[in-house]
Structure formats: C-alpha cells, structure tokens
Amino acid sequence: NAGVTQTPKFQVLKTGQSMTLQCAQDMNHEYMSWYRQDPGMGLRLIHYSVGAGITDQGEVPNGYNVSRSTTEDFPLRLLSAAPSQTSVYFCASSYSGGETQYFGPGTRLLVL
Amino acid sequence: EDQVTQSPEALRLQEGESSSLNCSYTVSGLRGLFWYRQDPGKGPEFLFTLYSAGEEKEKERLKATLTKKESFLHITAPKPEDSATYLCAARSGSARQLTFGSGTQLTVLP
C-alpha cells in the first residue's frame, strides 16, 4: 500500500491564482481531512469528509473548497491564492474521524 | 472549546539524558489522546493512542502516560535519532476531529 499520497510536493503561486492540491489514499478509509501547519500554531483543520459525497468545514475553511467524488481522492482547491495561505498542507485519512489518522508527506505552498 | 497545550516548545538533551514532554488538554469527555512524531519536511507519524486515565503505552525508548488533565511522553536514554517534533492531539466525545497542540521540538545531541 502507498498509504496517503499528495501532489505536488512544492508549489509557488502568485496572488490571485488558483490551484488544486491532490490527495489520494489506498486504505479504503472513509474519513479524510486537510490540515495546514504554520510555525507555532500546530495543525489546523481546513475541511474534512466522512465519506464520498459528504464534506464539512473545519476550523479554517475560508478560501478553500473541497469535494469527495470517490473514497480514494480528496482534492483541496484554492480559489484565489493569498499570501496568508502560504503554509504546509497535510492530508490525512482514517477509518473514522477520531481514530488513528495517517498523514501524507505534505505540500509546501508559497504564495507571492 | 477544546484546547491542547504542549510544553516545552523546544527541548535539547544530551544523548542518554532522560526527560518528559507534557501535553495538557481541556476537552469535554476525552475519547482519545494521540501522540505523533514529525520529522522535518515530513508528515506526522502515529506513535500512540491513550483512552483512559492511568493507561500507559511503550515503544522502544518512548512511554506515553495519561491522567485526567495531562499526558506525558517519557523518553528514556534518548539517542540522536529521536530528534523530531512530537505532537499530541485530543478527541472529545462530541467531535469527530482531533485538536492538535503546537508540538515540542526535541533535539538530542551526541
């Protein structure tokens, strides 16, 4: 099993550009989530999904969209990038939301 | 509102010098306390889950313990390869999500 995979590993955007961060898992997990990690602030939940077709907002959802059309994939869309979205983004999955979450390697995003 | 606070923010130890990392939590009806290890440039890696006060779990030089208000990660005779950031997270009874602390950056010097 590859576990949780994320692409790209690193991305530079200009303010106002849009992009999609990809996340996939091959463990047949129902629960998937997106976090951002900033220095001194820990991991903050952006959006999560409890199954295909079901998504909900986390702590910091503004400026991000998600959809879940399959169990395996959970892309995160930045609609109009802002410098405040410069961060490291992690995708995670688990059998259920409160159980052990398995994290991907992360995507480093720089917005100029 | 659920809160998780980790201390210290950073810790430097000499190889073989045992110590403990602290994770204080305020959640309504704890349903799980999780410890993760994170190496630079990588995603968090799961270490332990604790569910009730008094519970302990061990893995190599690491031992995690849980009380009603805190969890400790004890590191016995650490080695340089134990250097990493250690994260704790808590799940409350009403939430499906985890609340993370900001982590303790551990450096073990040879």
Please judge whether A42 and B87 are an interchain contact, meaning their C-beta atoms are less than 8 angstroms apart: yes
Strands (DSSP E) found in chain B: 3-7, 10-14, 19-26, 30-38, 45-50, 56-59, 62-66, 70-75, 84-92, 99-100, 104-109
For residue B97, which residues of chain A lie inside 8 Å, CB to CB? 33, 45, 48, 58, 97-98
Q: Does A89 touch chain B (CB under 8 A)?
A: no
The answer, yes or no, to whether residue A1 has pLDDT greater than 80, is no
Chain B CA closest to residue A57: B97
pLDDT in tens, A27-84: 999 999 999 999 888 899 999 999 999 999 998 999 999 999 999 999 999 999 999 9
Average pLDDT, integer, range B53-71? 96
State the pLDDT confidence band at A98, using cuts at 50, 70 and 90: low
* CB contact at 8 A, A33 and A6: no
Chain B CA closest to residue A43: B100
Please judge whether A98 and B43 are an interchain contact, meaning their C-beta atoms are less than 8 angstroms apart: no
Strands B10-14 and B104-109: parallel
B contact residues 40-69, partner A, Cβ 8 Å cutoff: 41-46, 49
